């Protein structure tokens, strides 16, 4: 590993939405760097394979230290499950150094007036309330220890709204506001707060947006090279591995040929 990832050795990181995409890639990268990783997601089977991949990545890296991987099946939109989360984590991994609030999704492209209540509620329940509940739970211990790092996944959609994305954009604007307040509240502590704001990342995210329509999902990336889950994992690991006096407050990361949610270059077509 070229950057100073040695700062990640023996750190304990908890990642939500870790069964696929950015969350899974982040779990694997931290395991490789010698962190202990708690992977949290709804899907038990997928969690199992990410756990195995993270364990293998740690073994193959040859890095000494860390490498303990725990999987916890949990839906961040369920407050009762979050209240019991710490009991489900092995005792030696309960001092969490880094929380990566990654769980989030978009469903549908309907315009205001035609959006289903259940889509509105489920996006807010996971992207906003889940992220807030996880932060509320873990920031208490971080404050008591006066150390820690909270890394929230925002989005280009949290900086600039777009047509057909009102609810998703609203959730990501909420994440940005919440993260900004949190960073300001913790200014007199050693706790760092970072928001990662990706643009187009090719994961199952787009397939969920189009309710399983893979060809509609693929069209989003036509003619340009999107970011990969691994690209974002690197930004997260980079932020987490800076020296303790350095806080990357915001990391806005786009594919080279994307400039905003609606401006991109696709081989001659804007």
Minimum CB distance to ligand 8X3, residue 165 (Å): 6
- Region from 8-16, 129-137, 192-200, 221-229 binding ligand 8X3, contact rule CB under 6 A: 192-200
Annotation says 162 is catalytic: no
**CA pair distance 147, 141, nearest whole angstrom:** 9
Residue 252, Cβ neighbours under 10 Å: how many?
A: 15
Q: How far from 98 is each of 95, 112, 184, 256, CA to CA, in Å?
A: 9, 37, 18, 29
Q: Is 27 exposed, middle or buried (0-12, 13-18, 19+ CB in 10 A)?
A: buried
Minimum CB distance to ligand 8X3, residue 261 (Å): 5
Rank residues 68 and 172 by Cβ distance to ligand 8X3 and give the closer one.
172
Annotation says 168 is catalytic: yes
User: Structure tokens of 270?
Assistant: 């804007």
| Element spanning 250, H or E | strand 250-253
Binding status of residue 167 toward ligand 8X3 by CB under 6 A: no
Q: Say how many residues touch ligand 8X3, by CB under 6 A.
A: 8
Binding status of residue 157 toward ligand 8X3 by CB under 6 A: yes
125 secondary structure, DSSP code: I
**CA pair distance 132, 1, nearest whole angstrom:** 32
User: Structure tokens of 157?
Assistant: 């959609």
**Residues 137-156: x/- map of binding to ligand 8X3 (CB under 6 A)?**
------------------xx
User: Structure tokens of 10?
Assistant: 């023996």
Q: Which long-range contacts (CB under 8 A, 24 or more apart) does 168-174 make?
A: 168/106, 168/123, 168/127, 168/209, 170/124, 171/104, 171/123, 171/124, 171/127, 171/128, 172/104, 172/127, 174/124, 174/127, 174/128
Rank residues 95 and 166 by Cβ distance to ligand 8X3 and give the closer one.
166
Binding status of residue 200 toward ligand 8X3 by CB under 6 A: yes
- Region from 74-82, 137-145, 196-204, 249-257 binding ligand 8X3, contact rule CB under 6 A: 196-204
β-bridge mates for residue 250, sequence order: 195
The catalytic residue among 140, 168, 190, 214 is 168
Can you tell me which of 21, 34, 66, 199 binds ligand 8X3, judged by CB under 6 A? 199
Rank residues 66 and 199 by Cβ distance to ligand 8X3 and give the closer one.
199
Minimum CB distance to ligand 8X3, residue 41 (Å): 18
Minimum CB distance to ligand 8X3, residue 53 (Å): 24
Site for ligand 8X3 in 28-57 (CB under 6 A): none
Binding status of residue 261 toward ligand 8X3 by CB under 6 A: yes
Catalogue the active-site residues: 168, 172
Q: Which residues bind ligand 8X3 (CB under 6 A)?
A: 155-157, 165, 198-200, 261
């Amino acid at each position: 590993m070229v950057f100073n990832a040695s700062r990640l050795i023996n750190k304990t990181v908890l990642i939500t939405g870790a069964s696929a995409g950015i969350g899974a890639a982040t779990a694997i990268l931290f395991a490789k760097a010698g962190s202990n990783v708690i992977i949290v997601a709804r899907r038990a089977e997928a969690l199992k394979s990410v756990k195995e991949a993270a364990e293998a990545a740690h073994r193959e890296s040859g890095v000494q230290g860390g490498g303990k991987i725990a999987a916890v099946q949990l839906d961040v939109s369920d407050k009762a499950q979050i209240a019991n989360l710490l009991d489900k984590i092995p005792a030696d991994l309960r001092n969490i150094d880094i929380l990566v609030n990654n769980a989030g999704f978009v469903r549908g492209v309907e315009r205001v007036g035609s959006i289903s209540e259940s889509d509105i509620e489920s996006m807010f329940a996971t992207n906003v309330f889940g992220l807030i509940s996880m932060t509320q739970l873990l920031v208490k211990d971080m404050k008591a220890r006066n150390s820690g790092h909270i890394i929230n996944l925002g989005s280009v959609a949290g900086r600039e709204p777009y047509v057909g994305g009102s609810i998703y954009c609203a959730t990501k604007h909420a994440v940005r506001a919440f993260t900004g307040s949190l960073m300001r509240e913790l200014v007199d502590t050693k706790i760092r707060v970072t928001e990662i704001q990706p643009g187009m990342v090719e994961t199952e995210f787009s397939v969920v947006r189009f309710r399983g329509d893979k060809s509609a999902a693929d069209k989003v990336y036509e003619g340009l090279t999107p970011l990969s889950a691994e690209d974002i994992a690197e930004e997260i690991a980079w932020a987490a591995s800076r020296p303790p006096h350095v806080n990357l407050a915001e990391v806005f990361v786009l594919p080279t040929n994307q400039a905003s949610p609606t401006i991109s270059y696709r081989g001659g077509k804007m």
